[in-house]
Structures are given as C-alpha cells and as structure tokens.
Amino acid sequence: MDGLEKRVKHLEDDVQGIKTDLAVIKSNYATCEDIQREIGGIRTDLQREAGGIREDLQREMGCVNANIEKMGRTMIMWTVGSVLATCTFIFGVVRFLS
C-alpha cells in the first residue's frame, strides 16, 4: 500500500502543477473578442495614418505643380529672350556687312 500512496501523492503533485500551468495559460491567451478589438484599433490607426499621408501627398503635389508651372514660365521667358537676342545679333551682323 505504501507504493500506491506514493504514486497517488505523485499524481496529486502532477495535477497541481497542471492546474497551475493551465491557470497561467488561461491568463495569457487572447479571446476572439480581444483579437477583434485589437484589429479594430489597428484598422483605425491605419486609416488615420493613410489620411495623414494622403494630405501630405496632396500638399506636396500642389508644390510640385507650382514648381513645374514656374519652370515652364521660366523656360518660355529664356527661349523668347534667346530668340530675340539671336535675331538682334543676326540683324546687326547683316547690317554691318552691308
């Protein structure tokens, strides 16, 4: 009987350890509601970030468009100026030679 009591005592100790391990596991696992709540929070954060990025992108696109327009005006101005200077130079050379 002494061997049986030792085995029962050993089993009781093992069961107590299993109960402790199970309690730790239960306290650390996430329920479906926890996961859904976390996903909802992440989704909200992503939408907020995407909105901020969209606003930044629109602002930057406005600056780029303004710079492109300014560069176009500058190119036209320089082209017209170069054509006028070339015409004036050619006119002066022709007049000088004649």
pLDDT in tens, 15-65: 999 999 888 888 888 888 888 999 999 999 999 999 999 999 999 999 999
Cα separation values, 49 from 40, 45, 59, 60, 90, Å: 14, 6, 15, 16, 60
Check: pTM over 0.75? Answer yes or no.
no
| Tokens matching residue 77 | 């101005």
| Tokens matching residue 40 | 């909802």
